[in-house]
Amino acid sequence: MSLEERRKSRVTLLDVARHANVSRATASLVLRKSPLVGSETRIRVENAMRDLGYVYNIGAARLRVERSQIIGAIVPNLTNPFFAELLSGIEGAIGATGKVVILANSGDEVERQEMLLRRMREHGVDGVILCPAACTEQALSDQIADWGMPVVQVLRHISRDLDYVGVDYAAGMRQAVDYLASLGHETIAFAVHGPIHSAYQERVDGFHDAMRSRALEPGMIIRFPAQLGDIAEATHLLFDQPKRPTAVICFNHIVALGLSAGLHDCGLTIGRDISLVGFDDVADAEAIRPKLTSVATGPVAIGEMAARLLVDRIADPDLPARHVVSDTILHIRQSCGRPDRKN
Amino acid sequence: MSLEERRKSRVTLLDVARHANVSRATASLVLRKSPLVGSETRIRVENAMRDLGYVYNIGAARLRVERSQIIGAIVPNLTNPFFAELLSGIEGAIGATGKVVILANSGDEVERQEMLLRRMREHGVDGVILCPAACTEQALSDQIADWGMPVVQVLRHISRDLDYVGVDYAAGMRQAVDYLASLGHETIAFAVHGPIHSAYQERVDGFHDAMRSRALEPGMIIRFPAQLGDIAEATHLLFDQPKRPTAVICFNHIVALGLSAGLHDCGLTIGRDISLVGFDDVADAEAIRPKLTSVATGPVAIGEMAARLLVDRIADPDLPARHVVSDTILHIRQSCGRPDRKN
DNA sequence: CTGAAAGCGCTTACAG
DNA sequence: CTGAAAGCGCTTACAG
């Protein structure tokens, strides 16, 4: 009986048309706000829709028309607040166009990513915003081209043939290094962690380049554990170096949070005994003490921009590939000082 | 021409059937792994699918069958890491069943929530996991029943007629109060912020009850700004009270982060001069110093549980409504000490 | 095990 | 402006 009711309650466009004394074609035109329909007719149909509780069936429409109004978003990690902000930007901008976003988490695994991509194709997504899992091969780009599926890469890239929106990581590293150098630091470490991908590589290369152009010794890359909980107790890695760094740049806000805690545990005062620069500048940067000087990358805006590019590409698949790289901003707060020459 | 190609490349089940020399019905059976098909036939069909690059069209199938394999998730805020973890649990558990999740952000606005719900119905979602926007009226529950749409409420509830999975906030508050009382605190504040909803109310009520049952003076509820960035500088509110609190329980990790910073700015040492208990226990709790004693609510597990309930309800819409409320765990770390009687 | 046929709810020319 | 008809890609009885 509840099944009965539910079945009964499914009202179709034909029901609406009958109730309004028009043909189904006319009702369809009203639905899509065609100017072909007279206003009295339109109103009659709209009333019928309301009275009957009609709900448009996008899936059925999709069968005839080439738009599902669904786009996919694949990120490597959902619990990282940085990706949450990215997603927030994507969802906001896509939602504003009346489309809907299917969310998926690749966990940075290429097989899982492959499965998700297939699932999304089965759902007929109009396109996807992809932050490629680490170790994704460039060949994926050819596959995507074969499929004829609009894709924009975000934050990480695997091919120049696809649209891309990301961050000018090299410039960000230069800002950090220049700032520290201006305070007198010469021995600067770059504390990294996590899987290797384009954004990782660009940061590392950017660090080396920035150090070189300041005529500083490059090369002090120190790898920390992937999990926030393990970073603090690995802080000693900083001091196991041949030359002890007076300043450290963090790969992202997770490393910054971990080291900020770990240095505190070592009895060091950040900003006096050692300088710390964060990267990504999510909300925490303001909240930890001392306030963290940080390179801001604006994840929400990046998500919005990626959404915009995807919408454009769906509208015109033959557009040449675009690559937009956004500027970083160094927010100077309280976590850096002059080097302590005693060390 | 690229259009041509794309159109050409759309291979249907009929193409597969022809290529494998079977009827479309048989191909469909293979697709759905029916045991009715002989294994040689099955293999022939599977090869044809592979050779032709066939992609199942779920949307077309949905038209015949009552399952879209899409579920919706509506949360009030995407940038709050707590909701990101919740979402992660939802996506993981739903994804594991082969379904896909449409994500949407209500921004805690009921009109927006209404629009999102409609959009999801248009997409024929099989059900939705809803964290109701603040001020959602109970009438929504009746609407949902009318629609015949499976819904599970998560974290916040508006009606007992709908499934719900949330947290035993009252028990969490009791744990916090009991712990502080056992250290000797008598003047305890509850620092709240954000919109009012069931989870808010339950925490406040739980606080009062817990204080009363310890024979302590209840009632010190102090409201802080909604934005993390504004909380630290509102810390003085704690001291504008008739009786200065020796301990404060935080509404969530955002308040905890903000106050932790603000108290530091006031020159107070947390755990010695004043005690702080967090709520939610997202990753940060381990990372701020002193380590934050916190009531853990396990958002990932809650998301998973909500997904499980939704799947059950979709399978059997006539199930009686279930309400699962998960236990909290008090993680004792370093942010609490005995009250300083000098104050 | 397989084929022919009807139908899910829409859109789109094509006539009127 | 409106109606009749075909078709999007699948599934589901129903015969064989």
Q: How far apart are alpha carbons B14 and B10 in whole angstroms?
A: 11
Residue B13 falls inside a structural domain: yes
- The domain tally of chain A equals 3
Is residue A335 one of the residues assigned to a domain?
no
Least Cα separation, residue A263 to chain B (angstroms): 10
The answer as to whether A334 is a domain residue is no
Residue A331 within any structural domain of the chain: no
Q: Tell me, yes or no, whether B183 and B275 share the same domain.
A: yes
Q: Whose CA is closest to B206, among B190, B222, B194?
A: B190
Q: Closest partner residue to A284 among B120, B148, B284, by Cβ?
A: B284
Using a 7 A cutoff on CB, list residues near strand D.
A 17, 21-26, 29, 35-39, 41, 60, 63-64; B 10, 12-14, 24-25, 28-29, 31-32, 54, 56-57, 60-61, 63-65
Taking the CA of residue A189 and the nearest CA in chain B, the distance in Å comes to 21
d(CA B260, CA B231): 10
> Which residues does chain B have within 8 Å of residue A119's beta carbon, measured at their own beta carbons?
98, 100
Residue nearest to nucleotide C5 (CA to C1'): B25
Residue B259 structure tokens: 């106050």
Output the domain CATH number for residue A304: 3.40.50.2300
Confidence of residue B333 (pLDDT cuts 50, 70, 90): very high
The Cβ of residue B5 has, within 10 Å, a number of other Cβ atoms equal to 10
Q: Which of residues 239-278 of B touch A (CB under 8 A)?
A: 257-258, 260-261, 264-265
Residue in chain B nearest A263 by alpha carbon: B289
Q: How far is CA B44 from CA B33, B41, B55, in A?
A: 14, 5, 16
Collapsed DSSP state (helix, strand, coil) of residue A164: strand
In a domain, B201, yes or no: yes
Closest partner residue to A286 (CB to CB) among B88, B123, B228 is B228
End-to-end CA distance of chain A: 80
Do A114 and A235 fall into the same domain? no
Whose structure tokens read 């709790």?
A: B285
- Strand pairing class (A188-193; B323-326): unpaired
Q: Is B143 on the interface with A (CB under 8 A)?
A: no
A38 Cβ under 8 Å from any chain B Cβ: no
Q: From the CA of B158 to the C1' of C11: give the distance in Å.
A: 40
Compute the count of residue pairs across chains A and B with CB atoms less than 8 Å apart. Answer: 172
A203 shares a domain with A104: no
Task: Please check whether residue B342 lies inside any domain of the structure.
Answer: no
How many angstroms separate the CA of residue B38 from the nearest CA in chain A?
26
Looking at the structure, tell me whether residues B149 and B195 fall in a common domain: no
| Interchain pair A284, B57: CB under 8 A | no
Q: Count Cβ atoms below 10 Å from residue A214 Cβ, excluding itself.
A: 18
Least confident of A13-27, A152-166, B52-66, B279-293: B279-293
Residues A181 and A248 in one domain: yes
Q: Indicate whether B163 and B232 sit together in one domain.
A: no
Q: Coil, strand, or helix at residue B222?
A: strand
Are the beta carbons of A36 and A26 closer than 8 angstroms? Answer: no
Tokens at B134, concatenated? 């603040």
| Same domain, yes or no: B285 and B306 | no
Search chain A and give the residue with CA nearest B286: A229
CATH number at residue B43: 1.10.260.40
Contact B335, B179 (CB under 8 A): no
- CB B100 within 8 Å of CB A119: yes
Task: List protein-proximal bases of chain C (any atom < 7 A from a CB).
Answer: 1-5, 7-14
The verdict on residue B210 lying in a domain is: yes
Least Cα distance to A79 among B281, B81, B91 occurs for: B81
pLDDT for A159 = 97
Mutate to test the interface with A, among B12, B63, B78, B292 (most CBs of A within 10 A): B78
Buried b (16+ CB within 10 A) or exposed e, B125-164: bbbbbbbbbbebeeebbeebeebebbbbbbbbbbbeebbb
User: How confident is the model at residue B2, as a pLDDT?
Assistant: 36
The residue segments making up the domain with residue A45 are 2-56
CB-CB neighbours of B54 under 10 Å: 20
Q: Are the beta carbons of B129 and B73 closer than 8 angstroms?
A: yes
Answer whether B105 touches A (CB < 8 Å).
Answer: yes
> Which residues between 117 and 136 in chain A have a beta carbon less than 8 angstroms from any beta carbon of chain B?
118-124
Answer yes or no: do B231 and B277 share one domain. yes
Bridge partners of A277? Answer: A249, A293
Kindly state whether residues A130 and A106 are assigned to the same domain: yes
pLDDT in tens for each of the 343 residues of chain A? 333 344 445 788 888 888 888 888 888 888 887 777 788 888 888 898 998 889 999 989 988 887 899 999 999 999 888 999 999 999 999 999 999 999 999 999 999 999 999 999 999 999 999 999 999 999 999 999 999 999 999 999 999 999 999 999 999 999 999 999 999 999 999 999 999 999 999 999 999 999 999 999 877 999 999 999 899 999 999 999 999 999 999 999 999 999 999 999 999 999 999 999 999 878 777 778 888 999 999 999 999 999 999 999 999 999 999 999 999 999 999 999 999 755 4
Minimum Cα–Cα distance from B285: chain A residue:
A229
Longest CA span, chain B: 90
Closest CA to B130 of B148, B149, B122: B149
Question: What's the count of helices (H) and strands (E) in chain B, helices before strands?
Answer: 14, 12
Residue–nucleotide distance: B23 CA to C2 C1' (Å): 7
- A343 belongs to a structural domain: no
3-class SS at A19? helix
Are A136 and A79 members of one domain? yes
CB-CB contact of A154 with A303 (8 Å): yes
Distance between CA A257 and CA A252 in Å, rounded? Answer: 9
Q: Which of B55, B87, B123 is best to mutate for the A interface (most A CBs within 10 A)?
A: B123
